[in-house]
Amino acid sequence: MALPKKGDLSEEEKQLLEAIGKGNTEEAARLLGSKNVRVNCLDEHGMTPLMHSAYKGKVDVCKLLLRHGADVNCNEHEHGYTALMFAGLSGNKEITWMMLEAGAETDVVNSVGRTAAQMAAFVGQHDCVTIINNFFPRERLDYYTKPQGLDKEPKLPVKLAGPLHKIITTTNLHPVKIVLLVKENPLLAEVEAMQKCYKVLDLICEKCMKQRDMNEVLAMKMHYLSCLFQKCILFLKEREDKLDGLIKSLLKGRDTDGFPVYQEKFIRECIRKFPYCEATLLQQLVRSIAPVEIGSDPTAFSVLTQAITGQVGFVEAEFCTACGEKGAAKRCSVCKMVIYCDQNCQKMHWFTHKKVCKMLKEVHEKQELEAAKEKKRQENKHKKEAAEAAGSALTSEENVVSESEGNKEVELKCAGERTEQTIPSQEAPASSPLSGHVLGGETNLENNAVEKAQESEE
Ligand SMILES: [Zn+2]
Ligand SMILES: [Zn+2]
């Protein structure tokens, strides 16, 4: 079939684009029934109807177009944008997911060499970035449920494919959350099943590194999950309290400040054990983590999460202290320094939190006080700067730019682990989640070092 020519649209096709713009699914459906409408027609910029509806965030129209055979990987756009790129730009999570399910390629680049995930990150659509980076089609896993080559048995029993796929595609990599996911499925939570699963994870990891379009991010995620599964096996075999014992170990905080040392060490060890030492991602991770003292920022969990999910700068979001889930909103009423999804998470954490709750309360009160003082100081500073800037318009502009960039960096590094802020590390500056400026002080220095390390590497 000859490719449609750009901008060569029939009357009905023009009406279709109009209906898409209005989100009029019924009208779009009617028009798609017309023989004068080609589902992959191109407007003068090389955009298909699917690209239009993805960009405009029209979920139902996207569904309709895919049902009518819209080509999700059409790449005729003048700047090389694909439907997935438009979905990522729009920030619509459902459409992003839909495009991936429909077979959208994730490694295609636009005319300036950016992938869909990079474009979404560029415009701050981090949820879409996470979805793209963590997409793993079920068929890729189902491959292991069939005997291959000389195998008599498949490497993965069919009944385990579903629960394992759920874990593979999760975007919350908190070790406690993963163990909870394992625990909730009786099929999965036994030694033999876990052994099969971790071996498949290792195979996928190897494939990710050896395939032509190498995917270090996915490889690292598979390796991390494999390490965690092996830890589960150990606890299933050796501990009477089995996976609950592992959860407890992962949550247990040290006496001085409640920092979960075992968890931190475990994640660091997972990263270090990544079998492909030449991987750029591994080197970046090690460089970010190695100089950090245990108990300081950033934690291994936040560094790993950032690398794997691409999540950056989710300042408004709150993360559960126990399981790392996003959107936690229930604070410990005493210390107000830890936050949970619900009572279950709080109960799970209480055995260790109760030892530091009172102490954290004092820290919190002190921080509030400091934050208020610092805010005042900053306000005065700004007033002074504004007055000075009035003298020279040019300088003032520069100030604004560098300042806002500074803040962005802070957001970046604070991502992933809210709890970090609650831990009084040495002379921690007063850090209330709301006072970005205050937060800036300490974290920035550290971040600059990390950034520089990364730059020099490039
Ligand atoms: Zn939770
Ligand atoms: Zn508390």
Is 385 a domain residue? no
Is 74 a domain residue? yes
- Averaged pLDDT for residues 148-164: 93
Same domain as 67, residue 155 = no
Is 309 a domain residue? yes
User: What is the C-alpha to C-alpha distance for residues 115 and 281, in angstroms, rounded to an integer?
Assistant: 17
Number of folded domains that form the chain: 2
Distance (angstroms) between ligand 2 centre and the Cα of 211 equals: 48
User: What is the C-alpha to C-alpha distance for residues 383 and 391, in angstroms, rounded to an integer?
Assistant: 13
In this prediction the pTM is 0.70
Same domain as 120, residue 35 = yes
Ligand nearest to the CA of 338: 2
Q: pLDDT tens for residues 209-244? A: 998 777 888 999 999 999 999 999 999 999 999 999
Considering the chain, what percentage of its residues have pLDDT values greater than 70? 83
Same domain as 291, residue 155 = yes
> Is 403's pLDDT higher than 90?
no
Domain boundary among 293, 316, 339: 316
Same domain as 80, residue 200 = no
Is 305 a domain residue? yes
Same domain as 87, residue 41 = yes
Question: Which has the closest alpha carbon to 330: 313, 317, 318?
Answer: 318
Q: What is the CATH number of the domain that holds 33?
A: 1.25.40.20
Helix axes 393-414, 300-309, angle to 10 degrees: 100
Question: Which has the closest alpha carbon to 249: 156, 149, 351?
Answer: 351
Same domain as 279, residue 165 = yes
Same domain as 222, residue 267 = yes
Q: What pLDDT is attached to residue 366?
A: 92
Same domain as 189, residue 155 = yes
Ligand nearest to the CA of 343: 1
Ligand nearest to the CA of 174: 1
> Is 59's pLDDT higher than 60?
yes
Q: pLDDT tens for residues 256-303? A: 999 999 999 999 999 999 999 999 999 999 999 999 999 998 899 999
Q: pLDDT tens for residues 191-200? A: 999 999 999 9
Domain holding 55, by residue range, is 11-128
Instruction: Determine the length of the chain.
Output: 458
Same domain as 283, residue 247 = yes
Same domain as 90, residue 122 = yes
Domain boundary among 263, 290, 316: 316
Give me the DSSP letters along 204-264: HHHHHHHSSS--HHHHHHHHHHHHHHHHHHHHHHH-TTHHHHHHHHHHPPPTTT---HHHH
Same domain as 174, residue 104 = no
Distance (angstroms) between ligand 2 centre and the Cα of 374 equals: 25
Same domain as 236, residue 291 = yes
Distance (angstroms) between ligand 1 centre and the Cα of 330 equals: 10
Distance (angstroms) between ligand 2 centre and the Cα of 354 equals: 7
Q: Categorize the per-residue pLDDT at 317 as very low, low, confident or very high, splitting at 50, 70 and 90.
A: low
Distance (angstroms) between ligand 2 centre and the Cα of 331 equals: 8
Is 408 a domain residue? no
Domain boundary among 98, 128, 158: 128
Q: pLDDT tens for residues 93-119? A: 999 999 998 999 988 999 999 999 999
Distance (angstroms) between ligand 2 centre and the Cα of 261 equals: 18
